[in-house]
Structure formats: C-alpha cells, structure tokens
A and B are shown apart, each in its own frame.
Chain A
Amino acid sequence: MAESRGWPGALSGVRGGILKISLILAALYLVVSLLPHVFEVADYRQFPVIGSRVLVWCLAQGHLMFAGFVLGVPIFALIAEVMGVVLKSERYDGLAKDFTRLLAMSYTITATLGALLLVALVALYPRFVAHMEKVFDPTWGFYVAVIFGEALFAYLYWYTWDLLQGSRKGWHVFLGVMVNVLAIGILVITNAWTGYMMTPGGVEGTELAITVTSRFDAFVNYAWMPLNIHRMLANVCFGGAIVGAYAAFRFLAATDDEERANYDWMGYIGSFIAVAAFIPLPFAGYYLGLEIYSYSQQMGVSMMGGSFAQLWILQAILIGSLFLAINLYLWLAMGRIPGGERYRKYQAPVLVVLATGLAVWATPHTIIATFAEMKAMGAAHHPRLGVLGLMSAKNTAVNLMIIATFITFMLYRRGNKRATSAFAVPGNWIQGVAFVAVVVGIVWIGIYGYFVPAAVRVGLSKYQPLMVGGFMVLFLAIEGPAYRGAKSLGEIRWGQMPRISQYVLFFLAVTFTWLMGLMGYIRSGIRQHWHVYQVMRDTSEGAYIPTHGFATMVVSIIVIIFFLFVSMVFALAMRSELRERRAS
C-alpha cells in the first residue's frame, strides 16, 4: 500500500489518483467538444434499445448514489478521526481509516459515471443542455475546480494517513475538513441545477428564448435549501448503511475472532450513523415536499394525491421495514451484551408500535378497490380507514415509530449497566413522565389536525418532531447523571453476533439504496413533461409518466448495478487491507 512506503509512496498515490481524475475530465472535455461536430443539429437524439430517457435515468441515479456515498462517508470518517484524537483511541482512528479506504475506488467510479452522464446529456438532450448552459454557464468551471480540489484533498487524506500521525495529526484533520468543505460545495452546486429544474427562478421567457434576470435567484431557487438539507442527511445515512454492509461482508468473511469482533463493532457504528441520520430524514423530506407543494400545487398534487400517490405507499413500506430491521439488529445485538436479556420484555410493545405505525403510514388515502368494494365503502375512501390516509395520521405514526426506535437504542445502551447513582430512580421517573407526555402530545396534535384548516395543520406538524427531539435531548441529559458510575454486568462480547444480524445490515443498505432510487424518481417525475418546470417543455419521445411497474423495475436494475460496483469496491478494499496487514 502506498501509505506504508513513506512520503514518496504517498505522493505517487496522490499523483496517480489526480492523473486518473484529470484524464477523465480531459476525455470528457474532448468528447463534449467533438459531439456537436459529429452529430447533425437536433433537439433530441435516440439511444438504441433502452432509449435516451432510461439511459440518462440510470446514469444519473447511479452517479448520484456513488456521489451520495463519497460525500457522506467523509463526514463521519472525519468525526471518527476527531473522536480518535479526543479519546486518544487508535481504534477510532483505525475505524476512520477503514471508512476512508472505501472512498479511493469510489471516487473513480463516481467521476466516470458523472462523465458518462454529461456525455449522454450533451449527445441526447442538446437543447436542454443549451438551456442549462445559458442559465448556469458560470457555475460549470467552478464546479470542475471544486471536483478537482475535492479529489486532490481526498487522495491526500487517504495516502497520508499513516504519515500524518502523532504531532502532525492536526494537519491530517485539516485535510479531512477540506474534503468535507469541498464535498458540500459539490452538493450545493448540483442541487442548484436540480432545484432549478423543479422550481426555476431568475429567468424570464421560455425554452431557449430566455433572459437570465438574476443568476442568484436561479441558483438559490425555491427547492435549493430543502434539497441541500435532505440530501446532506440522506448521504450520511446512505454512507453509514453502505459502510455497515461492508462491515457485514467482512464479518462473514472473517477467519478469526479478533477480526470478527472488529467488524462487528464497525457494523454497529455504521448502522448507528445510518440510524442517527435517518431519524431526522423524514422531517427533512416533509420540508422538501412542503416547499414543492408551496411552489406549485400541480407538482404537490401529482406527488401526494395524483399520479405518484401509490408510490408513497411503497415508500412507507420501505421506511417501515427499515425501522423494523433497525430494531431487529439492536435486539440481536443485545444478545451479546451481558444483562441485555433484562430488556427482552420491551420487544413486544415496541413491535406493536412499529407494526401499527407502519400500517397507518402505508394505508392509502385512495384505495384500489373492486367495484363491489367501492360500493360497500360508499366512496374510494374507506369511512373508517380514510382518516389514516391523511398526513396528520401519518406524521403521528412516524413520530411514534421514531420514539420507539429511540427507546430500543437507549435500552441497548443500558444493556450491561446497572445504575447505582442516587439520581437513577428519580431520573427514570422523569424520563417515564416525559415519555408519556410526549406520546400524548404527539397523538393529540395528530387528532387535532383533523379539525383545523390545512394551513394550521401543516404549521402544527412541525411541533411533533420538535417534541420528539426535545424528548430525546431530555432523555439523554438525564441518562448521563443517572448512569454515572453504573455497575458493569460484563463486557460486550463483540463478534458474538448471530449471522442473521449481518444480513439485516445488508437489508438496510439495499433498502436505503432502493428507497433513494424510488424517491429520486418521484422527485424528478413530478415535473412531468417539463425539463424545467413551466419554462422548458420536454418534447422528446420519453415525455410521459411510465407505469409504476416499469419505473420500479428500472429503479431495481439501477440498484443491482450499483451493488455490483459496490461489491467490487468491497473486494478491492478488502484486498488493500489484507495487503497492508501482510506488509506490516
């Protein structure tokens, strides 16, 4: 491994990485410059067999998945590294390095997919690219510079890991900060483009006859900030899930107990990161949806009540399954904690909350029913279940599911501890009273939402997550003093996890990825026959909404291809780690 061969090896690794990225960018520039000379002038061109739309769809989604991974992982790699410095723990440093190990190869794949996407857009959708160029031309060069900077710092971050240790660690942390700053830069620039396509601003006119009145408004468009927040959280969550899957792969392939223990721990940390970012994600998604609805009721209605409504049922099932899987993983993990068996009695009530919450969340407002069923109901809405189809019920269900998962996690944390502090009993009482109060409050807001105007209901919905967040903060604030000096019932037996728990980690990674693909399709699809909503019409052959079956099939194929690439990254990372170990 380059980093084990001192500075010359590290610099050679960085040079190699930068050379790869430079070659990709140069080839891209060349191809994009030549394309107009190769093809005759046209608004659209058809890609054979699968069609232009499906090709661009696959490339864009595949690129986005890898981009999400390479933007999300550095955030928690840096956090783990800083924790290693603060706690003086080599274990955290090793974990951060293991996270980063997965990035080196992923950057190349991300860049390649991004380059292919751009070539496909220029070749197949030249008129659309011409429009975007008019609006965002100044951002292109800046974007390339940021990508270049990101790659440079990322390779430096990886290849200097062993060299910048001890008194030089601060420099390495600085490199990690730069990787993240530039990664966020990439995210906000691309979100401006995506946001503009949905909620354009700063232009007058339509099609190619537009005048840019304010480039700032085009960039900082209506959906920009919600997209930034949503994607930032989603990237961390997604990155955590993929890292968890890598740890599961290594756990299952481990040949000794030490290795198994290490990857069990890594899997736990990966899933913890995924869950921590996952908890606020539904609210960030709700905020994005709300902003889209506010911008245009046409897109809002398409999304929630029209053509795409049934896909939200699928989304609810997927997210509900994630909640179930996360809880299952934690309960299985409690099996390797001495004293964890004390909390088994909470499994059934937590499951009842999760299953009921999922049932409420997945209840469609408009039910697909036979004529006889419709007649019996008196409408397409069931007179009893119809109320569960509205956001008031669904928000309530999600919030209760989050609290239930939080409780499971706190029980896991308490697993091998017996409180001895004098504050433990009153602290538990306060936590119990707060729990009851927050549950009653959430349910009350949910019910009250049916009796107030839509504007008030939407406004009220933010108090539910605020209550949940407040409850978590209070619970954690009490937990510290209540369990200070707690008696240990034994060490966690890392590595002694049933194998099925590792398949749960795979399930989390695949489900997160599939969910990302599905939601990406919905977000993009609600523009319908517009490249740029209400500004540039899509007049290509693919300007229609495909059937849900077709769309979900495409998403599934993208997920399969993504995991084939990810498997390759896993195999290379494992080979690199084994080689490094042999060398040392």
Chain B
Amino acid sequence: MRRLALPLAALVWVAVWAALRFGVQPPIPGQVMGLYMSITTVAILVYVLADQERTRAFLAPLVALLRESHLAVPRLGVLIVVPLLLGWYTYDSVRPRFDPPFEARTIHPEPPASFRLHGADFDVLRGHRPEGMGVNAQNLAAGRRLYYRNCMYCHGDYLNGQGHFADALNPLPANFRDSGTIAQLEETYVFWRVSTGGPGLPDGATPWNSSMPVWQDFLTEEEIWQVVAYIYDATGYTPRESGSAEGH
C-alpha cells in the first residue's frame, strides 16, 4: 500500500475536489473552494510526512523521475508541461475580464453608537424597546399588517428574502429565516437598520448599495418596533440580549 502513496494521495485529492465540485449545489464559490482544497492538500502532506517510510515511498517516484536515465522522456515532458500550466494559470489570473468585480460587502456592519430618529437621538448601544411598545398580540398583529404592506415585496411572504422584487436587487434582500441574520443580532440593531435603511449604512458597510428605504420617513417609531417584533415572532427567533455594563 505504501508503494502507492503518491497515486493514492493524488486520488484522494481528486476525489475530494470532485465531491465538493459536483456534490454541493449551488456550486461552492471560488473563495471557499480554494480554502477547502488548500486544507485538503495540507492534510494529505501532513499524512505523508507523519511517517518517514511513507514519506520516502511518496517521494520515490518523483525522485526517480528526476534521476533515472530511462525516464528521460517523461522527465522532459513534465519539465515542459508544468511551467506551461503555471504560465497558463498566471495568464488566466491576470487577463482582463468583463465580469463585475468582487464586492467585499459587509453583511452585518457595525452599528453606530446612536442615530437620529425623527429628530431625536436614539442610543443603539444602550437603548432598548420602549415601554408601551412591548411584544404583545396587538403589536404583533399590527407588525404583521405593516410587514405585508411594506416589506413583503422584497423580503418575501415567508420572510426568506425571496420577495417579488428580490431578483431585481443586488445585494439581495436579507433572509430573516437564515439563522445567520436577525437571530444573531440585538433588537436595537434591527431597529436601527429598519429606521435608517441603505442611506444610514455606516462607513464600514462598503459598498453602501443597499436598496432598503429609510423607513422612519414612512413609519412611526411605534410602527417600526411593531415590525421588528413581528419578524422575530414569525421566524421563531429571539433577539440577542446585550450584557449589562452597568457599574463599569
């Protein structure tokens, strides 16, 4: 088995690549695919290096290819093909393309300490849902009405980001059912995002191209809290709780 260390290593590498390339749909983006294959390569090398006899067996065909006189023709082939492949890879990496560039978009931009809400300051870091705007049946019903009147067209009737207009938008509307969106955030964060929309994105939220409207221009503070309560209730998530820094 050890004699076959090199071909087996190559086989494992190809098998992992094929499983990831064809076994996961939609296709894994290049960034993650590169990461996974790098990890696979390193893991295989670690396995080879972990045992000296295995290392020798792995290297034996490569050493033979470079040294043995009867392998002169394949050696020449390798010495021509490998630089050509590297050259092609380099060319392919740097050649001009017409695809839109990557967008290193920050999905959860850091919130500001406070923002202007209907002419007054709202403290995002230490603020909380005001008394009288609690999560109750009446507010949830109002939130549901507001959601289907205003938000559903983009965020979808199932709150999964697949609304009627979703396909026309870039970036795509947030999927509230994804455990990586509102489930990770405090309620004041979501309140801030709804209130200030795309134009309220902070400096760090490149490329600032969210099409989310500034909802405080259309809704009252109470209505925004009602919508926030509804999207949490409808998805079954609860907002992240902030710790208390009181006394510190």
Residues of A within 8 A of B (CB): 199, 201-202, 217, 221-222, 291, 293-299, 301-302, 305-307, 309-310, 313, 317, 320-321, 324, 327-328, 331-332, 335, 344, 347-348, 351-352, 354-355, 358-359, 362-374, 376-387, 389-390, 450, 453-455, 498, 500, 528, 534, 545
Minimum CB–CB distance for B205 against chain A, Å: 8
A371 — which chain B residues lie within 8 A by C-beta? 99-100, 103, 170
B189 touches A301 (CB 8 A): yes
CB-based contact B42/A324 at 8 Å: yes
A296: chain B residues at CB < 8 Å are: 125, 245
| 8 pairs of A and B residues whose beta carbons are closest in the complex | A294-B243, A305-B108, A201-B248, A453-B238, A355-B43, A331-B50, A302-B110, A454-B240
Chain A positions within 8 Å of B179 at CB level: 387, 390, 450
B107 at the interface (CB under 8 A from A): yes
What residues of A have a CB within 8 angstroms of the CB of B184 in the complex? Answer: 305, 390, 454
Say whether B42 contacts A365, CB under 8 Å.
no
Judge whether B242 and A294 touch: CB under 8 Å. Answer: yes
Q: Is A291 touching B243 in the complex (CB atoms < 8 A)?
A: yes
Q: Are B189 and A378 in contact (CB under 8 A)?
A: no
Interface of B is mostly: loop
Q: Contacts A335-B51, A390-B179, A500-B49 given; indicate if A355 touches B109 (C-beta within 8 A).
A: no
Asked if A305 and B24 make an inter-chain contact with CB atoms under 8 angstroms apart, the answer reads: no
- Decide if A455 touches B241 in the complex (CB within 8 Å): yes
The answer to whether A366 touches B47, judged by C-beta atoms less than 8 angstroms apart, is no
Instruction: Say how far B203's CB is from chain A's closest CB, in angstroms.
Output: 8
What total of A-B pairs shows CB separation below 8 Å? 198
With a CB–CB cut-off of 8 A, which chain A residues contact B248? 199, 201-202, 217, 221-222, 295
Given contacts A291-B243, A307-B106, A359-B36, 16 further A-B contacts (CB under 8 A): A201-B245, A217-B247, A296-B125, A298-B125, A306-B110, A344-B51, A355-B40, A358-B39, A364-B31, A365-B180, A369-B29, A370-B100, A370-B102, A381-B107, A453-B237, A455-B238
Q: Is B112 an interface residue (CB 8 A)?
A: yes
Residues of A within 8 A of B132 (CB): none
Which residues of B have CB within 8 Å of A324? 42-43, 46
| Residues of chain A lying within 8 A (CB to CB) of residue B204 | 302, 306-307, 545
Contact check, A366 vs B29: say whether CB atoms are below 8 A apart.
no
Which B residues touch A347, using CB under 8 A?
47, 50-51
17 A-B contacts, Cβ less than 8 Å apart? A217-B247, A221-B248, A294-B244, A301-B109, A306-B109, A309-B108, A317-B35, A328-B50, A354-B43, A367-B29, A373-B29, A380-B107, A450-B179, A454-B183, A454-B240, A454-B241, A500-B49
Q: How distant is the Cα of A296 from the Cα of B242 in the complex, in angstroms? A: 8
Asked whether B239 is an interface residue with its Cβ less than 8 Å from the other chain, the reply is yes
Closest Cβ of chain A: how far from B177's Cβ, in Å?
11
